[in-house]
Structure 1
Amino acid sequence: MGNKVFKATVRSVLIGYLIVLLLVPIGSIYLKGFSLGWDPFWKEVTGPLAWKSILLTIKLSIISTVVEAIVGTIIAYVLVRYTFRGKSLLNSMVDLPFSLPTSVAGLMFLTLLGPASPLGSWLEHFGIKLLYNQFAIVLGLVFVTFPFVIRTVQPLLEQLDPAEEQASFTLGAGRFYTFWKIVFPAIFPGIIAGSMLAFSRSLAEFGAISLISGNLPGKTMVASVYIYGETQNYNPEGAAAISIVLLTLSVLILWIINVLTRGKGRLA
């Protein structure tokens, strides 16, 4: 009897959490975005600056996700398969972007690469500008999403028996062929899941980007900065409309991850 009461209490708490902290805020965004009807919503979303900010956000998020998938997979493989001095420190530093406020990350890049910094001024002497452009946005997005692919690939690599790779080497296969035929199929679900999480996170990034992108409308203004600008311009309906686009994309991505995870579990 006591166990049933405990389970019912836990279930009620979880349902209450979902309703109060997830469903109600998400529902309020959709209600606000469509509060004036479909036509005003569509007008806000397809406005020149709004649409450009959405397309720019998606484009740069895809670029940063591809970079993250490649670099994150390499780093995960090195951390699992190799032993070297400083490995534990590097492994702990992977999670730094999770604990570091993104605005601090933006200030860090601004201090390091800004025109007033020694490195930034030296690079500008050669005509290289790393901030206030789309490259800066990709740089910021790669930093804030850095752990996702690494942390989803690492457990899969740890489950993969190194003897399978050694057997491939013994049979005369090279490193690339062994990785492609033995390692990659085993870690592919982790790469996809981590990449989707990184892409979803990139869509909503604001803190770091707002400091290093320059926020030029139609050029370097991402959707999250555009949303902030609409709230400052007393246009909550416009801000909610763009938020609905990003929120819907994020929900779809999480749904796809869930489907892939369930599929992997059934196959196992």
Structure 2
Amino acid sequence: MPQSHIMPGFRPTLGFTLFYLALIVLIPLSALVFKSMQLSLDQYWDILTNARVQASFRVSFVSALIAAGIAALFGFIIAWTLVRYPFPGKKLFDALIDLPFALPTAVAGIVLAAIYEPNGWIGRIVMDTLGVQIAYKPLGIVFALIFIGLPFVVRTVEPVLQEFDTAMEEAAASLGANRLQTFIRIILPNILPATLTGFALAFARGVGEYGSVIFIAGNMPYVSEIVPLLIITKLEQYDYAGATAIGLTMLVISFLLLLLVNALQWWVRRRSGQL
């Protein structure tokens, strides 16, 4: 006899899951693919090799990668602090981490632009001391994407640290390992998969972010113009073919990069014995 499931309703829930994936994810993406098929290879190539398009891709993906890496580092530090150390105002600080989730992206962009512009509170200090302009430059995009992506890393790493057995750290210390050795050999292999997941989420959000970026980016072609803004520009100019080609290329590149991150995550889990 086939083994029965503990929870009933497997077939209806599976059907609902497939229906959801088809209706919300697969059908819109397939429509984008079918729309792009109306272009010939030469037309598609001409759109992608345009200097402005290539510059926008470079700005979007490089900024998202840098911001996700920085968010992964500082997100782990924040998660570690929240889990391991008690301090006054901890609950309030923990609640503020989720603020970018609830804050409208346009509001976040306006606030960040006001703070980091050359006459802003932080922007003026950085300009006077370091001579570096943050707002209306690619650096401003990185700052905005860090603000957006940081909560993804914190909320992904925090549960793993809460479930981590500190007895392993004590055992390593009793065997003569110092703090650095304990972190590299005991803690890091257990939290690295979660950190990579947070990195992937922050990167995926950063590549497609629009509202919080356009106010601080300056939106200058070849300098600080992001791909989502270029797609909007193409649509406003009724260049649906160009918008479709750029959108499909962005989708394919994002998928390949996320696939690479997931493969790296699987490799780390396998090396650490979690699989």
TM-score (norm 2): 0.86
Provide, for residues 104-144 of structure 1, a one-character-per-residue CA deviation record: whole Å limited to 9, x for no partner: 11011122233454554565555442200011000001011
Which residue number in structure 2 is paired with residue 30 of structure 1? 33
Contact 2:76 2:195 in 1 (8 A): yes
Equivalent of residue 145 in structure 1, options 149, 154, 157: 149
Q: Distance in 1 between matches of 2:180 and 2:128?
A: 40
Q: Give the AA of the match of 1:138.
A: V
Which residue number in structure 1 is paired with residue 198 of structure 2? 194
Which residue number in structure 2 is paired with residue 164 of structure 1? 168
Contact 2:196 2:265 in 1 (8 A): no
Which residue number in structure 1 is paired with residue 13 of structure 2? 10
Q: Give the AA of the match of 2:247.
A: S
Provide, for residues 173-206 of structure 1, a one-character-per-residue CA deviation record: whole Å limited to 9, x for no partner: 4433321222111101111111112112111111
Contact 1:103 1:207 in 2 (8 A): yes
| CA 193–118 in structure 1, closer or farther in 2 if over 3 Å, else same | closer
Q: Which runs of 5+ in 1 are unaligned?
A: none
Q: Distance in 1 between matches of 2:263 and 2:125?
A: 49
Contact 1:34 1:241 in 2 (8 A): no
Q: Distance in 2 between matches of 1:45 and 1:70?
A: 33
The 10-residue stretch of structure 1 (246-255 or 74-83) with the greater mean CA deviation from structure 2: 246-255
Q: Give the AA of the match of 1:199.
A: F
| CA 262–117 in structure 1, closer or farther in 2 if over 3 Å, else same | closer
The answer as to 2:60 corresponding to 1:75 is no
Q: Which runs of 5+ in 2 are unaligned?
A: 1-6
Which residue number in structure 1 is paired with residue 241 of structure 2? 237
Which residue number in structure 2 is paired with residue 51 of structure 1? 54
RMSD of aligned alpha carbons: 2.7
The 10-residue stretch of structure 1 (65-74 or 119-128) with the greater mean CA deviation from structure 2: 119-128
Q: Give the AA of the match of 2:16.
A: V
Q: Give the AA of the match of 1:184.
A: L
**Fraction of identical pairs, as percent:** 33
Deviation of the 1:101 alpha carbon: 1.7
Deviation of the 1:103 alpha carbon: 1.3
Which residue number in structure 1 is paired with residue 252 of structure 2? 248
Which residue number in structure 1 is paired with residue 136 of structure 2? 132
Q: Give the AA of the match of 1:232.
A: E
Q: Give the AA of the match of 1:46.
A: T
Deviation of the 1:5 alpha carbon: 10
- How many residues were matched structurally? 266
Q: Distance in 2 between matches of 1:10 and 1:163?
A: 40
For 1:90-101, what aligned pairs fall within 5 Å after superposition? 90-101=93-104
Moved over 6 A (4+): 260-263
Q: Give the secondary-structure state (helix, strand or coil) at the position aligned to 2:167.
A: helix
The 10-residue stretch of structure 1 (63-72 or 167-176) with the greater mean CA deviation from structure 2: 167-176
TM-score (norm 1): 0.88
| CA 136–82 in structure 1, closer or farther in 2 if over 3 Å, else same | same
Q: Distance in 2 between matches of 1:160 and 1:152?
A: 13
Contact 2:118 2:134 in 1 (8 A): no
